[in-house]
Amino acid sequence: MMHLLRRPISRILHLCVSFHEFAPSKSRPIPSPDLLRHKDWLSPPEVIRIFQTLKDPNSALPLLAQLSTRKDYNPNESLYATIIHKLALANNFDSIEALMQQIKADRKCRLSDAFFRNLIKIYGHSAGRINAAVETLFAMPDYKCWPSVATFNTVLNLLVTTKQFEVVHEVYVGAAKLGVEIDACCLNIIIKGLCESGQIEAALKVLDEFPQQRCSPTARTFSTIMHALCGRGRVEDSFGLLERMEAEGVEADAVVFNVLISGLRKRGRAAEGVELLQKMMRRGCDPNPGTYQEVLYCLLDSNKYSEAKKMMEKMMGKGINPSFQSYKLVIQGFCGDKGVEDVEWALRHMLAHGFLPKMGMWNTMLHCLLSHNHSNSLFSQIIQN
pTM: 0.80
Give the long-range contacts of residues 256-261, CB within 8 A, separation 24 or more: 256/219, 256/222, 256/223, 256/226, 257/285, 257/287, 257/291, 258/288, 258/290, 258/291, 258/294, 259/223, 259/226, 259/227, 259/230, 260/226, 260/230, 260/235, 261/291, 261/294, 261/295, 261/298
pLDDT value for 107: 82
State yes or no: pLDDT of 21 exceeds 50.
no
pLDDT of residue 365: 86
114-150 pLDDT tens trace: 999 999 999 999 999 999 999 999 999 999 999 999 9
pLDDT confidence of residue 300:
95
